[in-house]
Structure 1
Amino acid sequence: MNKIIVYEYVDFKGLHREFTSDVPDLHNVDFGDCISSLKVIGQPWLTFSDSNYKGLAHPYEEGEYNHISRNDVISSLQLVSEDLEHPQITLFDKPDFKGANKIITEETNLTYGYFNDKASSHIVQKGVWLLYEHGDRKGWEYIAREGNKLPNYESVFRLNKKCSYVYPLKGGQPVIISNILWDHKKVESERNVVIDEINGVNNTDFEQIFTTTSSKTYESSTSHSFKLKTSALKLDGSFYLRIDPSTNILVEKGSIDSVTKDKVEVILPAKIPPHSELNIRVIMKLVTASVPVELTITRNGKSKTECGEYRSVSGSSISAKYIMKPVEKKTD
């Protein structure tokens, strides 16, 4: 849910209010011109010094702000409803969208290129952009929203030929739900690996107790990996893959590379018959498998489905193979 929580004092103290939709006048809810700290969940919010979304505006992305620079001057709040994925703005070096232009799709410091202090007009194709006077995101600040066409900077604010930094507002962390499609599991390979070998010989005429213990514990491991089907897709959120009731694997930024370990007890025979040799081979079965994963990604009330793949190399199956063979009696 998109939400803003505003507090009367710094460090989230004093009276507070919580809002999930636009507030044109905070005075109507007895919270005007008193906000000193705030928390944002989900989409960014815009704060305004005057009611009805007028006056000085400032954006706040998802996060906690224990002290805001424009404290005690906020009179209205507005939720940013635009789709903030794949932002794009076009800057022009002349008014009325003429002259040379620069298309920008990501945060850019113009002081490092050839378009610094040249912009005189712009068109926002998608997203919400912040335009700054200086390369360190200071000085004059302008909020350009999707669909905004500003034909002449000089007539509106003091940024004409002075824009040095452009920044697209980032959406809040998405809610990602994963569904592992176990019915479509594919075993890619299987192989056995001998991890231990124990031998015992009984040359007597009597049954003997095996010299080792009746059981032995071995460590098993399973490696986990996840990747998105579309290599160009980026996930800025995290989610859990529930592998089994006791194993939840955290996926961050669309990938994982982790190992889980366990203990497996193998029962060993306690006795060796007369004139026999017992060979015990402890075998780990390594199974490589892949399973498709369906991801439901929800952000700003909109959901989409993406596909990924979970792979594992499991050595959790450990067993013992017993080979008993007779030995020749020793003669004096």
Structure 2
Amino acid sequence: MNKIIVYENANFQGLSREFTSSVLNLVKEDFNDCISSLKVIGNPWVVYSDRDFRGSQFVYEEGEYPRVEFNDQISSLEVVTEDLMYPQITLYEHDNYRGRTLVLTTETNLLYGSFHDLASSHKVQRGAWVLYEHINRAGAQMVARASRDVPNYGWFNDRVSHVRPLKPGKPIIKSEILWDKKEEHVKSVTIDSICGLNKGEHEQSFSTELFKEYTASVTDSFSFSNATQITWGTSFSVDVGVMKGEQNFSFSNTFTVEKGSSNTRTERKSIQITLPTKIAPHTKLTVNVLRKEVDVKVPVKLTIQTGSNSSVEFGEYRCQSGNSITAEFKEEKI
């Protein structure tokens, strides 16, 4: 969701309005010339000092702004809907796309090159850009967008000193575990063996404690595709609720994943095994303690919504469970 929340006063105080689409005239919304702070969620928004997207303009990317440019002077709002992932702009030395050109795909301080204070027109091939009057993102600014070529900057001719592409808002990621494609491996492992002998004619007490404790664990993890588009610091939840309640998977039903951090969690607990109290006459009693180890791997479909664009990739969820511990008894006559 691309959204802007505008406030009557600074620091998000006073009356507020929330918009999810562009607003040509804030007079019709009873909120004209009164905005002093705002919050942006998703793609950037451009604010204008006049209605119909005219007058001075200023752009806000995703974030919170306790104070704004054009305080109490904003009359229209426009959401940026272009694909912002792979930006490209061509600057022209003269108006009407004439003279030398400069093609940019990243933020550039023109003072460091030969195109400082020379541009008079542009064409945007991809994305949306901000052109600044001064270096370091200072001074008046012009928003340049794909399919909106500008043949003449007017008073802005020969004044562009800094150029940067606008960034999309944080991606929204939805995960879906594809349980029908899971791989599951189960094996039993002996983790302890206790033996007792009774060579006599009468029943004897078992020569060990009646209870023994063992450590069990469940570990789940998530791994990304090597070609993932998801950037570091991006987090989302994986719902593993389908497995909740089964003996071998006792985790809560939500696993939070963050790109760039460890995506593994382990739960450990003690399990108590009750041992027999007596051994029959002329009997060898063997108690084998078994751990049932289950290893499940399952693909996860990730739908990534960035601004108005959507893409799909796959990761892998894995759960290794060893919290099912049982005792197996075997008697042999001697």
Whether TM-score is above 0.5 comes out as yes
1:4-19 matched pairs, under 5 angstroms: 4-19=4-19
What TM-score does the superposition give when structure 2 sets the normalisation length?
A: 0.80
Aligned match of 1:53: 53
Aligned match of 2:33: 33
CA contact (8 A) 2:128 2:165 kept: yes
Gapped regions of structure 2 (runs ≥ 5)? 245-251
1:82-161 matched pairs, under 5 angstroms: 82-92=82-92, 96=97, 98-104=99-105, 106-109=106-109, 114=113, 117=116, 120=119, 121-151=121-151, 155-157=154-156, 159-160=158-159
Alpha-carbon offset, residue 12 of structure 1: 1.4
CA contact (8 A) 1:285 1:315 kept: yes
Cα gap change, 1:206 to 1:124, in 2 (>3 Å): same
Aligned match of 2:161: 163
For residue 259 of structure 1, the aligned residue among 247, 260, 265 is: 265
CA contact (8 A) 1:294 1:306 kept: yes
Alpha-carbon offset, residue 281 of structure 1: 4.3
Gapped regions of structure 1 (runs ≥ 5)? 328-332
For residue 293 of structure 1, the aligned residue among 282, 300, 304 is: 300
SS at structure 2 position matched to 1:147: coil
Alpha-carbon offset, residue 172 of structure 1: 2.6
- Per mean C-alpha deviation after superposition, the further-off stretch among 18-27 and 29-38 is 18-27
Q: Which amino acid aligns with 2:166?
A: L
1:92-151: per-residue Cα shift (whole Å, max 9, x none)? 5566254353331x444556x646627524321111111234442223322111123344
Q: Distance in 1 between matches of 2:134 and 2:190?
A: 65
Alpha-carbon offset, residue 267 of structure 1: 2.8
SS at structure 2 position matched to 1:11: helix
What TM-score does the superposition give when structure 1 sets the normalisation length?
A: 0.80
Q: Distance in 1 between matches of 2:288 and 2:93?
A: 77
SS at structure 2 position matched to 1:139: strand
Counting matched residue pairs gives 320
CA contact (8 A) 2:102 2:115 kept: no
Whether 1:219 and 2:220 are equivalent positions in the alignment is no
- Per mean C-alpha deviation after superposition, the further-off stretch among 273-282 and 290-299 is 273-282
Aligned match of 1:179: 176
Q: Distance in 2 between matches of 1:9 and 1:89?
A: 36
CA contact (8 A) 2:44 2:166 kept: yes
Q: Distance in 2 between matches of 1:60 and 1:181?
A: 38
Aligned match of 1:231: 227
Alpha-carbon offset, residue 77 of structure 1: 1.2
Cα gap change, 1:132 to 1:210, in 2 (>3 Å): farther
Aligned match of 2:249: none
Whether 1:247 and 2:253 are equivalent positions in the alignment is yes
Aligned match of 1:330: none
Identical-pair percentage: 42
